[in-house]
């Protein structure tokens, strides 16, 4: 559960979250659509424990939300992000064309999404 923060604390938390390349990569994947943990883990290739730690960090800071679908945990961006997060996600969207790793992640995600693992779409 995310802790209620002041506006300043919220901005600081956003920038702390964005200072890690793996968290940026996760946010980039979630810009496309909600993703199950197995897809995020497969794209990042950092191991399931580290992937789960990064997702938990983002969740604690209200940068992602999770939905349980059977045995699957599906992460998504907040339905109503704060203005600071929305602005930074827009900036990230612009940066993906410059960053090779972000483009490669999206290519891997497309291949993984075509497989049968993960929950069925709602």
CA torsion sign for 15, 30, 99, 104 is positive
CATH of residue 66: 1.10.10.10
Residues 41-86 pLDDT 10s: 999 999 999 999 999 999 998 899 999 988 889 999 998 888 888 8
2 in any annotated domain: no
How high is the pLDDT of residue 59? 93
Give yes or no for residue 29 having a pLDDT over 90: yes
Give how many domains the chain has, as a whole number: 1
Task: List the structure tokens of 35.
Answer: 């993703």
């Amino acid at each position: 559960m995310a802790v209620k923060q002041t506006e300043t604390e919220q901005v600081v938390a956003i920038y702390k979250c964005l200072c890690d390349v793996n968290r940026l990569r996760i946010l980039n994947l979630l810009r496309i659509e909600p993703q199950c943990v197995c897809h995020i883990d497969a794209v990042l290739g950092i191991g399931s424990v580290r992937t789960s730690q990064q997702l938990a960090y983002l969740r604690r800071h209200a940068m992602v939300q999770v939905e349980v679908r059977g045995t699957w945990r599906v992460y998504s961006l907040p339905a109503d992000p704060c203005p600071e997060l929305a602005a930074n996600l827009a900036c990230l969207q612009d940066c993906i064309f410059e960053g090779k790793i972000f483009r490669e992640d999206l290519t891997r995600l497309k291949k993984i999404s075509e497989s049968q693992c993960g929950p069925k779409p709602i």
